[in-house]
């Protein structure tokens, strides 16, 4: 666990979420699918993701108003064309970063209503547990640490 906390130096303007809701979803889904495929091929994701085969997972970033939908198709992820998701996760960009940096536990965020899981609860819990067990790649940790505001 990191001793420094990822605290916002400022809040993101509400206008970002209003703009984000009008942006096309496909680029975000493509970017997430590519990142997950690369993580899987480099061994940063477990090989057994059969429980996700054909399921649509939606990641919503509430303060940016964006969302990405992906599906597992064989050995790779792809952006999902469907507007319906089997399970959706929703949190702020800061809370997602805190989870990735291991500064917050997803269960704590869930019970504080800062992480919402909707849809297939069993699938959501299995996915949350899987993601919580993965050690983030060093490059991601460096990138997230770089955006950490200076401590006062």
Looking at residue 124, its pLDDT comes to 92
Quick check: is 55 in a domain? yes
Quick check: is 26 in a domain? yes
Answer with the residue of higher pLDDT: 122 or 42.
122
Residue with the two structure tokens 């800062």:
114
Q: Domain limits at 35?
A: 14-146
Q: How many Å apart are CA 111 and CA 91, to the nearest integer?
A: 12
Quick check: is 8 in a domain? no
* Number of domains comprising the chain: 1
Is the pLDDT at 143 greater than 50, yes or no?
yes
First to last CA, the chain: 20
Q: How many Å apart are CA 20 and CA 28, to the nearest integer?
A: 11
Quick check: is 3 in a domain? no
Looking at residue 77, its pLDDT comes to 92
Q: What CATH number is associated with residue 19?
A: 3.30.1050.10
Quick check: is 77 in a domain? yes
pLDDT tens readout for residues 57-95: 999 998 888 899 999 888 789 999 877 899 999 999 888
């Amino acid at each position: 666990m990191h001793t420094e906390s990822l605290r916002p130096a400022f809040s993101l303007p509400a206008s970002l979420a209003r703009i984000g809701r009008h942006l096309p979803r496909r680029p975000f889904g493509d970017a997430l699918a590519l990142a997950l495929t690369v993580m899987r091929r480099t061994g940063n994701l477990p090989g057994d993701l059969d429980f996700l085969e054909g399921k649509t997972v939606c990641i919503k970033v509430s303060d940016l108003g964006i969302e990405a939908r992906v599906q597992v198709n064989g050995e790779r992820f792809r952006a999902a064309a469907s507007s319906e998701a089997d399970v959706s996760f929703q949190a702020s960009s800061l809370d997602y970063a805190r989870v990735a940096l291991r500064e917050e536990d997803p269960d704590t965020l869930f019970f504080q209503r800062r992480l919402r899981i909707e849809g297939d609860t069993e699938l959501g819990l299995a996915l949350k547990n899987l993601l919580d067990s993965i050690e983030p790649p060093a490059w991601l940790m460096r990138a997230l640490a770089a955006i950490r505001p200076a401590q006062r």
